[in-house]
Homo-oligomer: A and B are copies of this chain.
Amino acid sequence: MEHARVTFLREEDIDAPVLIEGLPGIGHVGKLVADHLIHELGAEKIGEISSPHFPPQVIVDERGITHLASNEIYRYEKDGKAVLFLVGDVQSNSAEGHYILAEHYLDIAQDLGVGRIYALGGYGVGHLVENPRVFSAVNMEHLRPEVEAAGGSFENARSGGMIVGASGLLLGLGKARGIEGICLMGETSGYIVDPKSAESLLTVLSRLTGIEVDHTSLQQRAGDMEQMIANIQEAEEARGREELSYIG
């Protein structure tokens, strides 16, 4: 069985110099921002990725239709300025799967001409934050001034740290391919889907990419996401996780 199945929904030229990754993670800040951008810009879905390294499940939508757990690629273009988005419901559920999928994402990125990746995420601090900062990391030193000029903070670096999962590996493995990587992490409690953190993150990202969108629906979107997560958790708790049991 192949490690990842990538299906493109259109065949024409879909190159873009920039990829924005917003997969699920801490506080869903990255996912919230990427989903918001896709919606506000009206970005077009151009590809789907399924993989045996994702959790073995389907998502049931509000009409009762199942969808295989997957990641998706969206594309937006305006005035000759194109950008790709990597979003989805899941990340790999194994360490090795993370590496395998990250290499697949980078293959796709390179095929589509991507030279820079923005990896979006949250930076949990365990308490509510009035004015969330946007912590940053880059995979090449020359990127730092640009990020600082856009309002990204590198204060987090003083205490070292790690970036786990797709965001981390896109930067780490991307560097070996010569792809610039900038990770932006919105400071957040980690307890809620945090629209304030997302707004800070979006502000810095807009300065870096030149992509401007309205922020007003961000709070509503965060609330919807929060509700969706709560519904799923409630259902999961009631049902229990499907223990793969056996009988004689």
Contact = CB atoms under 8 A, between A and B. Distances in A.
Nearest to A157: B64
A247 B228 CA distance: 7
A156 B161 CA distance: 36
Interface string A88-110: 01111111111110110000000
A66 B183 contact: yes
A69 B160 contact: no
A229 interface: yes
Interface in A39-94: 52-69, 89-94
Contacts of A241: 164
Contact of A228 (B25, B160, B190): B160
A171 to B, nearest CB: 5
Contacts of A103: 1
Interface of A: 1, 3, 24-26, 28, 31, 52-69, 89-100, 102-103, 121, 123-126, 136-141, 144, 154, 156-165, 168-169, 171-173, 175-176, 181, 183, 190, 225, 228-229, 231-232, 234-242, 244-248
